[in-house]
Chain A
Amino acid sequence: MKRSLTLAGLVLAPFLLLACGDEDPESTSAGAPSDSASFPVTVGSGKNAVELESQPEQIVSLSPTATEMLFAIGAGDQVVAADQYSNYPAEAPTTDLDGFEPNVEAILGYEPDLVIASSDPGDLVASLDRVEVPTLLLPAAVTLDGTYEQIEQLGVATGHVGEAGEVVGQMRSDIESMTADLPDGAPVSYFHELDANLYTVTSSTFIGQLYEMAGMTSIADDAPDAAGDYPQVSPEYVLSSDPDLIFFADGGANGGVTTEDIAGRPGWDHLTAVQDGHVVEVDPDIASRWGPRVVDYLQVLFDARSELQPVG
Chain B
Amino acid sequence: MTTPSSPPTQTEDTTPLRPVRLPWRWLVGSVGLLVTTVLIAMAVGPAGLPASAIAIEIVNYVPGIDVDGGLSELESAVLWELRAPRIVLAMLVGAMLAVAGAGYQGVFRNPLADPYLLGVAAGAGLGATLAIVNDVDQNLVPVIAFVGGTAGVAATYALGRGVGGRDTNTLILAGVAVAAFLTAVQTYVNQRNTDSLREVYGWILGRFLTAGWHDVLIVLPYIVVALAVILAHRRLLDVLSVGQNEAGSLGVPAARVRLVVVLAATLGTAAAVAVSGLIGFVGIVVPHIVRMLAGASYRVVLPLAAIVGAAFLVGADLIARTIVAPGELPVGVVTAFIGAPFFTLVLRTSGSRW
**Does B191 count as interface, using CB distance less than 8 angstroms?**
yes
**Does B209 count as interface, using CB distance less than 8 angstroms?**
yes
List chain A residues, Cβ under 8 A from B326: 219-220, 222-223, 227, 231, 233-234, 237, 241
> B83 — nearest CB in chain A belongs to which residue?
A236
Query: Is B324 a contact partner of A223 (Cβ separation < 8 A)?
Result: yes
Closest approach, in angstroms, between the C-beta of A103 and any C-beta of chain B?
11
Q: Among the listed A85, A198, A222, which residue makes an inter-chain contact with B209, where contact means beta carbons less than 8 Å apart?
A: A198
Within B208-223, the residues touching A (CB, 8 Å) are 209-210, 212-214
Query: Is B78 a contact partner of A267 (Cβ separation < 8 A)?
Result: yes
List chain B residues, Cβ under 8 A from A242: 74
Given A231-B324, A232-B327, A236-B45, A265:B73 Cβ within 8 A: no
Query: Is B202 a contact partner of A197 (Cβ separation < 8 A)?
Result: yes
Query: Is B327 a contact partner of A257 (Cβ separation < 8 A)?
Result: no
Q: What is the 8 Å Cβ interface bit string for chain B, positions 71-90, against chain A (1 contact, 0 not)? A: 00111011001110100000
List chain B residues, Cβ under 8 A from A256: 135
Cα–Cα distance between A254 and B134 once the two chains are bound (Å)? 8
**Does B46 count as interface, using CB distance less than 8 angstroms?**
yes
**Does B198 count as interface, using CB distance less than 8 angstroms?**
yes
List chain A residues, Cβ under 8 A from B135: 252, 254-256
List chain A residues, Cβ under 8 A from B199: 195-197
List chain B residues, Cβ under 8 A from A177: none
**Does B13 count as interface, using CB distance less than 8 angstroms?**
no
Cα–Cα distance between A85 and B197 once the two chains are bound (Å)? 14
Closest approach, in angstroms, between the C-beta of A228 and any C-beta of chain B?
8
List chain A residues, Cβ under 8 A from B47: 236-237, 239-240
> A256 — nearest CB in chain B belongs to which residue?
B135
Query: Is A270 a contact partner of B74 (Cβ separation < 8 A)?
Result: yes
List chain B residues, Cβ under 8 A from A101: 191, 194
> Which bracket fits the contact residues of A?
35 or more
> A230 — nearest CB in chain B belongs to which residue?
B198
Cα–Cα distance between A219 and B75 once the two chains are bound (Å)? 17
**Does B234 count as interface, using CB distance less than 8 angstroms?**
no
**Does A235 count as interface, using CB distance less than 8 angstroms?**
yes
Q: What is the 8 Å Cβ interface bit string for chain A, positions 76-107, against chain B (1 contact, 0 not)? A: 00000000010000000000001011000000
**Does B164 count as interface, using CB distance less than 8 angstroms?**
no
**Does B224 count as interface, using CB distance less than 8 angstroms?**
no
Query: Is B194 a contact partner of A266 (Cβ separation < 8 A)?
Result: no
Query: Is A265 a contact partner of B48 (Cβ separation < 8 A)?
Result: no
**Does B195 count as interface, using CB distance less than 8 angstroms?**
yes
List chain B residues, Cβ under 8 A from A239: 47, 74, 77-78, 82
Query: Is A234 a contact partner of B45 (Cβ separation < 8 A)?
Result: yes
Q: What is the 8 Å Cβ interface bit string for chain B, positions 324-336, against chain A (1 contact, 0 not)? A: 1111100000000
**Does A199 count as interface, using CB distance less than 8 angstroms?**
yes
**Does A303 count as interface, using CB distance less than 8 angstroms?**
no
Query: Is B327 a contact partner of A223 (Cβ separation < 8 A)?
Result: yes
Q: What is the 8 Å Cβ interface bit string for chain A, positions 148-173, against chain B (1 contact, 0 not)? A: 00000000000000000000000000
Query: Is B74 a contact partner of A240 (Cβ separation < 8 A)?
Result: yes
List chain A residues, Cβ under 8 A from B203: 197
Cα–Cα distance between A220 and B49 once the two chains are bound (Å)? 18
Query: Is B207 a contact partner of A266 (Cβ separation < 8 A)?
Result: no
Within B1-49, the residues touching A (CB, 8 Å) are 45-49
**Does A109 count as interface, using CB distance less than 8 angstroms?**
no
Within B118-143, the residues touching A (CB, 8 Å) are 134-138
Interface centre among A233, A234, A235 (most CB of B within 10 A): A234
> A101 — nearest CB in chain B belongs to which residue?
B191
Closest approach, in angstroms, between the C-beta of A166 and any C-beta of chain B?
32
Interface centre among B82, B85, B191, B203 (most CB of A within 10 A): B82
Q: Among the listed B138, B195, B213, B325, which residue makes an inter-chain contact with A237, where contact means beta carbons less than 8 Å apart?
A: B325
**Does B321 count as interface, using CB distance less than 8 angstroms?**
yes
Given A233-B327, A235-B209, A270-B77, A255:B137 Cβ within 8 A: yes
Query: Is B77 a contact partner of A237 (Cβ separation < 8 A)?
Result: no
Given A100-B194, A236-B321, A255-B135, A231:B327 Cβ within 8 A: yes
Q: Among the listed A224, A231, A232, A237, which residue makes an inter-chain contact with B202, where contact means beta carbons less than 8 Å apart?
A: A232
**Does A261 count as interface, using CB distance less than 8 angstroms?**
yes
List chain B residues, Cβ under 8 A from A198: 209, 328
Given A197-B202, A234-B321, A240-B75, A98:B46 Cβ within 8 A: no
Closest approach, in angstroms, between the C-beta of A306 and any C-beta of chain B?
26
Query: Is A234 a contact partner of B46 (Cβ separation < 8 A)?
Result: yes
Closest approach, in angstroms, between the C-beta of A292 and any C-beta of chain B?
21
Cα–Cα distance between A231 and B45 once the two chains are bound (Å)? 16
Query: Is B210 a contact partner of A265 (Cβ separation < 8 A)?
Result: yes
- Which 10 residue pairs are nearest across A and B when measured between Cβ atoms? A227-B327, A266-B212, A240-B47, A237-B326, A231-B327, A267-B81, A267-B77, A266-B81, A254-B135, A237-B46
Given A197-B199, A226-B327, 18 new contacts (CB under 8 A): A98-B194, A100-B194, A197-B198, A199-B202, A224-B324, A231-B326, A233-B46, A233-B326, A233-B327, A234-B82, A234-B209, A235-B209, A237-B325, A239-B78, A242-B74, A255-B135, A255-B137, A267-B212
Cβ contacts A to B, 12 pairs, < 8 Å: A196-B210, A224-B324, A227-B324, A233-B327, A234-B326, A235-B210, A236-B321, A239-B77, A255-B136, A257-B138, A261-B138, A265-B212
The interface of chain A, by Cβ under 8 A from chain B, is 85, 98, 100-101, 194-199, 219-220, 222-224, 226-228, 231-237, 239-242, 252, 254-257, 261, 265-267, 270-271
